Structure 1
Amino acid sequence: MRLDEMADVIVVGAGPGGSATAHYLAQTGLTVIVLEKGTFPRDKICGDGLTPRAVAEIIRMGINTDGWIRNYSLVAHGGGHRIEVPWPELNSMPSYGMARARGQFDHDLAKRAVESGADLREGMTVTGPIIHERSGRVIGVEARPKGADRKAPPLRFLAPVVVDAGGVSARLATSVGREKIVNRPMGVATRTYFRSPRADEPIMESHLELWDGEPGRSNLMPGYGWVFPLGEGLVNVGLGSLSSTAKPTGIDYRRLFDTWMSNVPEEWGFTPENQVGQVRGAALPMAFNRGPHYGNGLLLVGDAGGMVSPFNGEGIAYAMQSGRLAADFIAQALARRTLGQQDRVLRQYQEELRSELGGYYTLGRIFASLIEKPEIMHLCVHYGLPRPTLMRLVMKLLSDGYDRRDGDWMDRLITALTKAVPSA
């Protein structure tokens, strides 16, 4: 007979959100069990680019970044123009980004959580929640170890608070009825790796026009491409497309990727013989497309709560930020004596997320509804890229690279805009 395992908090998923949650909770002295379906190192579909906002979260966690490649500017291509915009000097984040393959990055964060005292269990597939019969509260999860006999009873892990950091599928949240909000933006990312002489360039590069044939003589498609040098001879190359709702776009992303690769300069080396790994794709849940972020003992962190930015497909910074916030509210809640008091504290987690990101995500939803139309994107690129001041403002907005307090006039403008719209 197996005994139930007990902890103060169960975290499902050891991606950036789950590991950040576990790290900060363990530092408070709480017992944390992290259940991760895969085994490290494991691959994740991602652009591998880390904006200054993400780097700020990495610094907070105390991650050793020796040897990680840094980038100091964003290069944008479109409408026959090329413009390079340095990352801004800000009070709230560093003036550089980084790049790190997700297979290594997630492992780095998980190891940091373990160093802080979290109990990481790899190869554990969570099969469902454990619900208190009378209250309906999530009081734990059932899980099955990798390779276990399917007829054997699942393992049971019990805790006063459970965190779903399980990514876009959010199976735990879905199992308790927290479905996707279909009128929120949904992105798709498709990427692979190439051995390339561009591997050590200190930039992040965006290609703002994607064509379904010869550039300038075929149909302009919604979306953008990226080139993120990773060092060690590798470059992450991919494309992202955006829909203002969760409805399928009908675009053949693999074919679009191949078409783009056939038109890039030969000297970049983005050829089949230099390709490392398959072209793979994944969905990007955006703008709080699942909620509530707290209810009945279950919190949602990162992609499970739809926290990818509609502006640029960035998810890592918000996963780590939401994990940090979740850990703070959980620690405060578990210091209270009654469930009612704990719930009142935990409900503030969602309010804090809305305060921090709600207005910004609403602006992102407006942005998504515009740029999913290729003709509007074309006009913006053609007339906007040649204007350096405008592009600095746009880059701050799109990368969430602005100071909320005591910033310059661009920061104050963006902050005012986020406060003028309803919170997502």
Structure 2
Amino acid sequence: MENIPQTCEVLVVGAGPAGSACAQILARTGLDVLLVDEHDFPRDKVCGDGLIPDALAALRRLGVYEEVLARAQRVSHVACIGSRGGRVDVPGTLAVLPRRELDMILCTAARRAGARWLAPARFEAPLLDGERVVGARLQVGGQALEVSARWVVLATGARAQALIASGLCERHTPSGVALRAHVRHASLAQRLHAMEVVWHRRLRGGYGWIFPGPDGVFNIGTGLLGSHQADAQGHGHKQPMNLRRLFDDFCEVYAPARELMAGGQIVGDIKGAPLRCSLTGARWSRPGMLACGEAAGSTYAFTGEGIGKAMETGLLAAQALQSQQPESLTDAQVRQRYEESLRALHPRFALYEKANRVNNYPWLADLVIWRAQRSPAILKRLSGVLEERTNPGHLLSVRGLMKLLVASQ
């Protein structure tokens, strides 16, 4: 295969937010980085498309904040809506941009920084020297290509195949699933300006959302956390819940969703995708390889938000690999750096896992919304969840719930 790179210092597999962030930072330092993806770009990606403050902070670090915001739909608040119709608007610095555009911006920035690019190139398996990963076998144009690398960063998303092939998978089944559509509705775009998240007893176990995007195109979808149960070997089965039925139920119980789907123009396909949450389900590293993004479980349970934390794990992987003399870093040092940085994030993920009880018991959302309507202090705490100054696990602990019931709080 002429003119196709076959060696590099760092091979980054997957050009979503995690992989592109990692590739850009490493390329900035002068390392020879090869970024590959199984799809040509731009390409579609199933996601809610919402950019909350942690994502915006990462975009600033990557130098693309202004470029993203110039294309995105800016949003001033998240509307939390309960089963009984209660609503509270939580202020925040937010935006919505389809992943097709966001990921293209991030991938282009990595290439602009000096990362080489190869697509479509599908990851098949790591190359091994004993137990150490020393590259990867790819499929390019129907032919096998072996790329040698000092390090491989696996940023292949929530699907388990690459993790299994790499010996990193601990949970074959996902943490959850989501279904979304892009729908253009010019009239509704004049009236619906918030990122709306809806809990309802008909959606128990999950939630629905409508996010206003650029050009009058909305992202509408439903997410279901805890959709699969795993056994001790990491295998499991899907819970008896039809995701498309959940989507239809959302449209039945929430009038704006019904109006959007009945009178709007669907743009592209209605698609579903798995979620891997809470930094669980996979080993984060092995000699010669780091896993980041959703491959490492970077999505939050409870909210299903993953773009910001995917970029953050990609930045942490790059930080662990950075050195003026990369060959001087031992496997143990790199892996220790990286895994310690992820362990530092783990308590926050664990509390989001606890907060996931709202999805299983929608009446909790009704309680929080009711109190936030009457208490500026609680509304401020909800805003703090968006800004990552307040943890939702604390808000929804037994002690936190007791406080919600105290009128003076």
Task: Report the TM-score range of the alignment, normalised by the length of the smaller protein.
Answer: 0.7 to 0.9
Alpha-carbon distance change, 126 to 256 in structure 1, aligned in 2, over 3 angstroms: same
Corresponding residue of 1:347:
336
Answer whether contact 2:354 2:393 (CA < 8 A) is retained.
no
Q: How does 1:215-226 map to 2 (within 5 A)?
A: 221-226=204-209
Instruction: Describe the SS at the equivalent of 1:386.
Output: helix
Aligned to 1:309: 300
Q: CA, structure 1 residues 210+412, in 2 after alignment: closer, same or farther (shift >3 Å)?
A: closer
Alpha-carbon offset, residue 342 of structure 1: 4.2
Gaps of 5+ in 1: 88-95, 212-219, 404-409, 418-424
Please name the residue that 1:138 is paired with.
133
Distance 1:303 1:5, change over 3 A: same
Deviations 1:381-405 (A, max 9, x none): 56545344324324533x3x234xx
Given the alignment, which residue of 377, 384, 400 partners 1:396?
Answer: 384
Question: Residue 251 and residue 81 in structure 1: after superposition, are their counterparts in 2 closer, same or farther (change >3 A)?
Answer: same
Aligned residue type for 1:386? Q
Q: Where does the alignment leave 5 or more consecutive residues of structure 2 unmatched? A: 231-236, 398-409
Match of 1:234 among 217, 220, 241: 217
Query: TM-score, length-normalised on structure 1?
Result: 0.82
Local SS of the residue matching 1:172: helix
Deviation at 1:177, TM superposition (A): 2.3
Contact 2:222 2:250 in 1 (8 A): no
Structure-2 separation of matches of 1:361 and 1:327: 21
Question: Which residues in structure 2 correspond to 1:50-129 (within 5 Å)?
Answer: 50-63=51-64, 64-65=67-68, 66-78=70-82, 79-87=84-92, 96-129=93-126
- String of CA shifts for 1:171-219, please: whole Å, max 9, x gaps: 333223222348x9812211101112333654211112252xxxxxxxx
Q: CA RMSD in A?
A: 2.8
Scaled by the length of structure 2, the TM-score of the pair is 0.85
Change (3 A) 1:269 1:179: closer
Shift in Å at residue 375 of structure 1? 5.8
Q: Number of residues paired by the alignment?
A: 380
CA distance in 2, matches of 1:191, 1:72: 22
Question: Which residue of structure 1 lines up, in the alignment, with residue 289 of structure 2?
Answer: 298
- Partner-residue secondary structure (3-state), 1:198: helix
1:190 aligns with 2:179: yes
For 1:58 and 1:86, locate their aligned partners in 2 and report how far apart those are by CA, in whole Å. 20
How far has the Cα of 1:411 moved from its partner?
Answer: 7.5
Deviates more, 1:136-145 or 1:273-282: 273-282
Deviation at 1:312, TM superposition (A): 0.7
Q: Is the 8 A contact 2:348 2:391 kept in 1?
A: no
Separation in structure 2 between the aligned mates of residue 372 and residue 334 of structure 1, nearest angstrom: 48
Change (3 A) 1:103 1:296: same
Residue 403 of structure 2 corresponds to: none
Query: CA, structure 1 residues 258+334, in 2 after alignment: closer, same or farther (shift >3 Å)?
Result: farther
Local SS of the residue matching 1:72: strand
Does 2:346 align with 1:358? yes
User: Residues 34, 188 of structure 1: CA spacing in aligned structure 2 closer, same or farther, 3 A cutoff?
Assistant: same
The residue number in structure 2 matching 1:269 is: 260
Structure 1 position 272, deviation (Å): 6.4
Once the two structures are superposed, the pairs formed by residues 163-202 of structure 1 within 5 Å of their partners are 163-181=153-171, 186-196=175-185, 197-199=187-189, 201-202=192-193
How many percent identity over aligned positions? Answer: 30
